[in-house]
Amino acid sequence: MNHPLAASRYLRQEVRGLLARLDKVRPFSLTMPTVTGAAVPKPAWTAIESHLARERQKLRQRLRSFMRWLAGPNGRRVSPQNQQRHLTLLRLQFNATLDQLDIFADVLTQRAEHETGVWLAGLDTVAAEALSLSGRYFESPPLVTYLDRGHGAAIRRARTRLPGGPKNPVGIVRVPRERMIGGCGIGSSLAHEVGHQGSALLDLVRSLREVLRGRMQKAGPQKPIWEILDRWISEICADYWALSKMGVAATLGLIGVVSLPRAFVFRINLDDPHPFPWIRVKLSCAMGQALYPDSQWGGLARLWNSLYPTSGLTPVKQRFIQLLEATLPAFVKLLINHRPKSLRGRSLREVMPVGQRQPMRLRALLRAWLQRPQNVHLPSPTLAFAVIGQGRADHSIAPEHESQLLARFLESWALNGVLGPETSRRLLSRSA
């Protein structure tokens, strides 16, 4: 037996309960305790607060509209079953709005952690510079960083869908807590994830796939190898972006991430968009040699071979790896000289700071830093990681010194964002 009046009364009470809980959701600006130096960049903060306020307002309007419909003639003519169906959809939208709140809360609550919050603000600066190119090829979205458990990093790109369907107003980069502050590896992970955002803004994956599929038609017996590279191109683009911004630091960071038990390093899963770890490191070395000619890349490749020799693999797997390695030079040449329409005639090599990341220049900068540390002017973030990574590759900087120097830089970049270079320099010199 149906009880329309009882059902309607129950549903109105449920909606009022949802509205009451929605009204308890306060702006982050009123709830997040954070020191000034740890604050997220103002454009990101504004974008997050504005987005969540709009979503709460839209949901509030839908809930109130449902109550009016429920009390009106159209709603009264609908069966309790259908009334409940409408409320169920609204409750799903309510939960999606709270899911969005939690996504951003994960980012912002860590800003209250001692030291960690300031370091994250510094990483926000690193991320913003890692995304920038020497030319206005796209409008950079705000980027924010946070830490989480796990071995690898990830990004929730700006302008992708959030729970419930709206577009994400900021890029959110998750970096592993175990890399903070362990050295230049955190910069490598960050630049790789930012590379995914940059690749999407430039539409690189689509444009490269067009070129690759044209190459496949002429590849003959090597066509399956090029098909596999096509499958991996999204992750390869991100690795290239990190290498272009941070030099050998990107390859060293990659080695740190993919140094796994041997079975995983040689696990070839053609459904995985990531190249399997062994070939991924070799590809990074090949791209490094093409961008920054130096004997260090051969040394890194030999080191990787000694850590994970291919002896003992099945003949089929060994042959597959040999074919991949033989194809890498041609593939890398195609990649770095690619000229997508989004770059208006320039190549992927030409828009990156390749000249500023040459090993000899990085070595000279590091020598100057170590000889006269008091005269070191705050470098650009990705250049700093590139210099320190080069020192790590050359064994000319101790891991302890590397960690201290990066922590100092992160604090400086964080304070620069809110106080300006002169004020932050004075504050840090007094606290040293």
C-alpha 140/C-alpha 133 separation (Å) is 10
Q: Among candidates 242, 262, 260, which has minimal Cα distance to 252?
A: 242
The CB-based long-range contact list for 373-377 (8 Å cut-off, 24+ gap) reads none
pLDDT tens digits for range 375-410: 667 789 999 999 999 999 999 998 888 888 888 889
9 shares its domain with 104: yes
Report yes or no on 181 lying in a domain: no
* 169's tokens: 């107003």
Q: What angle do CA 337, 194, 48 make, to 5 degrees?
A: 140
pLDDT band, very low/low/confident/very high, at 422 (cuts 50, 70, 90): low
Tell me what percent of the residues of the chain surpass a pLDDT of 70.
94
* Orientation of helix 381-394 relative to helix 399-419, angle to 10°: 180
384 shares its domain with 325: no
Region 249-262 average pLDDT: 94
pLDDT band, very low/low/confident/very high, at 221 (cuts 50, 70, 90): confident
Strands 171-176 and 143-148, bridge-based pairing: parallel
When the pLDDT of each residue in the chain is averaged and rounded to a whole number, the result is 89
C-alpha 11/C-alpha 78 separation (Å) is 13
pLDDT tops 90 at residue 293: yes
pLDDT for 46 equals 92
Question: Which tops the pLDDT comparison, 215 or 361?
Answer: 361
pLDDT tens digits for range 308-340: 999 989 999 999 999 999 999 999 999 999 999
In three-state secondary structure terms, 156 is strand
291 shares its domain with 256: yes
Strands 171-176 and 154-156, bridge-based pairing: antiparallel
268 shares its domain with 406: no
Q: Which of 6-10, 103-107, 294-298 has the highest mean pLDDT?
A: 294-298
317 shares its domain with 336: yes
Q: Report the domain count for the chain.
A: 3
Q: List strand residue ranges (DSSP E) for 56-212, in order.
A: 143-148, 154-156, 171-176
Answer for the pair 287, 329: CB distance below 8 angstroms, yes or no. Answer: no
342 shares its domain with 380: no
Question: Which tops the pLDDT comparison, 33 or 207?
Answer: 207
- Last residue of some domain: 81, 112, 143? 112
Report yes or no on 124 lying in a domain: no
pLDDT tops 90 at residue 2: no
C-alpha 353/C-alpha 358 separation (Å) is 9
pLDDT for 432 equals 45
- Note down the domain range covering 292: 207-357
pLDDT tops 60 at residue 57: yes
C-alpha 402/C-alpha 9 separation (Å) is 65
Report yes or no on 196 lying in a domain: no
Answer for the pair 260, 277: CB distance below 8 angstroms, yes or no. Answer: yes
301 shares its domain with 386: no
Question: Which tops the pLDDT comparison, 74 or 421?
Answer: 74
C-alpha 185/C-alpha 152 separation (Å) is 11
pLDDT for 168 equals 95
pLDDT tens digits for range 134-181: 888 999 999 999 998 877 889 999 999 999 999 999 999 998 887 776
- Last residue of some domain: 313, 339, 357? 357
414 shares its domain with 345: no
Residue 358 Cα distances to 49, 252, 344, 400, angstroms? 41, 16, 25, 25
pLDDT for 134 equals 83
pLDDT tops 80 at residue 423: no
C-alpha 90/C-alpha 63 separation (Å) is 7
Instruction: Quickly list DSSP for 68-105.
Output: HHHHSHHHHTS-HHHHHHHHHHHHHHHHHHHHHHHHHH
The number of beta carbons lying within 10 Å of the beta carbon of residue 404 is 12
H or E element that contains 270: none
C-alpha 207/C-alpha 341 separation (Å) is 8
Report yes or no on 239 lying in a domain: yes
49 shares its domain with 66: yes
211 shares its domain with 332: yes
H or E element that contains 60: helix 42-71
Report yes or no on 134 lying in a domain: no
Whether omega for the bond prior to residue 181 falls within 30 degrees of 0, making it cis, is yes
296 shares its domain with 308: yes
pLDDT tops 60 at residue 10: yes
Burial class (CB in 10 A: 0-12, 13-18, 19+), 73: exposed
Region 228-250 average pLDDT: 96
Report yes or no on 120 lying in a domain: no
Report yes or no on 187 lying in a domain: no
363 shares its domain with 327: no
C-alpha 367/C-alpha 358 separation (Å) is 15
- The span from the first CA to the last CA of the chain, in angstroms, equals 78
pLDDT for 32 equals 78
Region 242-269 average pLDDT: 95
pLDDT for 377 equals 76
pLDDT for 47 equals 94
- Last residue of some domain: 60, 89, 112? 112
Dihedral, CA atoms, 178, 183, 185, 190, nearest 10 degrees? 80
Report yes or no on 272 lying in a domain: yes
Q: 42-46, 73-77, 199-203: which has the minimum mean pLDDT? A: 73-77
